[in-house]
Each structure stands twice: as C-alpha cells, then as structure tokens.
Amino acid sequence: MEQKVLSQIDVYVDTVEGTQIDNPQLKNDLLNSSILEKRLSSNPKDYSYQDLHLPFSKSYTWLVDYVRDHFNVDYHKVLVPKKEWGNIYLPKESSHSRHQVEPLLLKQSPDYTYIYCVEVTKNTCEFVMEYNDNRRANCTWHIPLETNKLIIFPSTQRYFISQNTGKYMNVFITVNCEYV
C-alpha cells in the first residue's frame, strides 16, 4: 500500500544556543514599548493590541540570522521576516487564540511564524497549536516553553500561549516570515 502525503503541518522546535543574543536587552526594549504604549494597534478590540513594537537591535538581527541560517541548512528555505513584535504576559495572563494570515489577503500573508522565548520561566506556560486531523477536529498540540526556546509553524495555524501560571512575567518575540 503506497501512501501519498498531500499536505502536512510542519512544526519546528529548537533551543537557540551559541549566539550572543542579549535577552535582557530585548526584554527592556519590549518593556519600554509597553510603558510608552507603542502597540501595533491602538484599537483595544484588535488582536494586535497586545502586540508591542520591537525596536531594531543587534540582538533581534542575530535572532533573525540564527533562524534563517539554521532553517535554511536543514530545510532549504530562507525565511525572510515581514513583521515582528513582542508580547508580555503577566501572571494569570494568556494570549488570544489567533493565526497570522489575512484571509482576504492570502497572497500578502506570511508563510511561517516563529515565536522566540525571550524570558519565560520553565513550566509556566505552553505553546498550544489548534489543528484538525481529518474528522477529528479541534485537536491541540502542546509544547512547553522556557527561555531561548523557538517554535516555527505555518502562519495559517491557529495557536495561543497558555495562561502564565508563574510568578513573573513571560516575554516573547513573534516574527512573521515569507520563505524564498
């Protein structure tokens, strides 16, 4: 019996190591954006209201370099960032369930999204991806998060960051990418 896989949901998990990304500096940049209300959207009803402006920095560039180079050598796709932002979740907070494509603008939507854990206390939250497995709809895939963890997944996939059960804030960077 021969199997043909016509479609798949590819999720990549890695721990960013070796590079000199300055997580405290990235966290400070995002805290600064939070204090100054530098959000991607000023509409509190918008998904992007929780998304904080991420200023350009060497550490962010090094993160993009790390992902681009390692993903390219292993999977032969060069990820080109289109949009980036940060999120801070205080204790008891979680993210919205969302995806990153614009249904009416699929052509201009990203291919892959990645989430980098800038400062996340171990065992305090999970990346939860929602997916359908044929008629078994509404399945979820859970990946525990901690500092330096990286998750790459298709932008079409609905996901959320589960409730922060720790005592400290959890800080993330999200990047939408096209591949070439």
Partner 1 sequence: MAHFAKLDKRRSKVIAVHKVADSNCLDEDDNESESVGQAFLENVHGWPAAKWIQTSYNTYEGSHTLGGTALRGNYAAIGMIWDPDNNIFYKEQPFPSWTLNTTKAIWEAPVAYPTGQPRNEDGTYKIYTWNESGQSWDEV
Residues that bind partner 1 (CB under 8 A): 17-21, 58-59, 62, 65, 69-70, 72-73
Q: How far is the CB of 57 from partner 1 (least distance, A)?
A: 11
Nearer to partner 1, 14 or 130 (CB): 14
Q: How many residues would you count in the chain? A: 180
Q: How far is the CB of 99 from partner 1 (least distance, A)?
A: 29
Nearer to partner 1, 10 or 69 (CB): 69
Structure tokens at 122: 């171990």
Instruction: Give whole-number Cα distances, 39 to 17, 33, 117, in Å.
Output: 29, 7, 19
Distance between terminal CA atoms of the chain?
34
Nearer to partner 1, 54 or 169 (CB): 54
Q: How far is the CB of 146 from partner 1 (least distance, A)?
A: 17
CA torsion, points 102, 108, 109, 112, in degrees to nearest 10? 180
